[in-house]
Amino acid sequence: MLASTYPGTPGDGTPAFVRDLALAESQHFDTLVVVPRVPGGASHETDGPLRVRRFAYFPRRWESLAHGAIIENLRESRLRYLQVLPLVVCEALAVRQAVRRYRPDVIHAHWIVPQAMVALLVAGRTPLVVTTLGGDLYALRARPLQWLKSRVVRRAAAVTVMNEEMREMVVALGADRGRVEVLPMGVDTSAFTAARVPSSDGLLRLLFVGRMVEKKGLAVLLEALRGLPVPWRLTVVGDGPLRSAAEEAARDLPVTFDGQLGRTELAARYASHDVVVVPSVPTASGDQDGLPVAMLEAMAAGCAIVASDLAGLREAVVDGTSGVLVTPGDTAGLAAALADLAGDPAKVARLGAAARQRAQDYSVTRRGLQYGELLARVAAGR
């Protein structure tokens, strides 16, 4: 398995969806994970049944491109473009070495660029399954990158995407429709079963979980909350390049910034909040969420969901049944949806219960089995 977003240590606050899936796939395959080095991560590690190899790609003092989301890290600092070529070269060397020593039956690469591209360059004879989670598909639209992405998806044995819209985009790049599957990432539902904590102060308890970047829409949420005509408080979990701007925008509002949290602490936040808000928006570059894993976690925890009406989100949230959908960027509509829930605790409880049930379709156990079956088919077809 190849990826760029991967925890340095369990519970360090880095999204763990790739690790969760790797652990599930390890029930079917001996699994080696090859990822860039991040703070706190050992170069070689045994993580239960997984073997993890983290490669260096820049002097440790400045090595920051793969710590978080690569695209957003580049937007935050143009100096990080100096790390792009070293990352690709060092990943190619690490993958080539791993393939020679490990002789894999199949490679599962998360993100078309750079992981799947590198796999085709240095291990083109090994069957390749590519999983695109959204950022590399919705963004990176320059003509040379579109050409590279087209080359990758045409040659991959299978491509998995997070929603139907993404499937059509991959087909438009030239992939055989029969080799493109909508197979979202899974969530460890067992980690979010803490009993819900009832409110004791009468406030609408809102929670935002996500990286503080434009597409997550935190600025939209803060603007919407200024006009909310009911008592409320918001907790923001996460970090990112726009954190300072968000803290400034929320200076006179009842908002608490908790930073990145490990899974145990995050589960407690879900249990103590009524509504999780997912105000995702498309960015000027075209980037947008495919299907946020944080939203699936919140659903598994039994939170009511208010989310933007975007392709991947609407496939997970059934409007009026397991959540409420609002037009992306519509601050008045978002405020109205939140005010409606504040006045109807029974509806909040009903939406939360339906969300918990809906989340079972996205359990990592179920998704791991589906990915395992796909990888087995690809490996058998070599």
Give the tens place of pLDDT for each residue, 357-369.
999 999 999 999 9
Q: Which CATH architecture has domain 17-186+363-380?
A: 3-Layer(aba) Sandwich (3.40)
Q: How confident is the model at residue 382 (pLDDT cuts 50, 70, 90)?
A: low
Asked if the model's pLDDT at residue 96 lies above 70, the reply is yes
Q: Distance between CA atoms of 17 and 10, rounded to whole angstroms?
A: 12
Looking at residue 58, what is its pLDDT? Answer: 96
For 189-362, CATH number? 3.40.50.2000
Phi, psi of 323 (to 5 degrees): 165, -175
189-362 and 17-186+363-380 share a CATH fold: yes
Average pLDDT over residues 175-204: 89
282-335: pLDDT as tens digits: 988 888 999 999 999 999 999 999 999 999 899 999 999 999 999 999 999 999
Query: For 14, left (φ over 0), alpha (ψ -120 to 50), or beta?
Result: beta
Considering only CA atoms, which of 15, 48, 11 is closest in space to residue 31? 48
Residue spans of beta strands (DSSP E) within 227-301: 232-237, 255-259, 275-278
> Mean pLDDT for the chain?
93
For the cut 80, the answer to whether the pLDDT of residue 87 exceeds it is: yes
Sorted by where each begins, the domain ranges of the chain are 17-186+363-380, 189-362
Inter-residue contact 287 to 347 (CB < 8 Å): no
Closest listed residue to residue 68, CA positions, set 4, 128, 9, 24 = 4
**pLDDT tens for each residue of 41-67:** 899 999 999 999 999 999 999 999 998
Tally of CB atoms within 10 A around 50: 17
DSSP state of 190: G
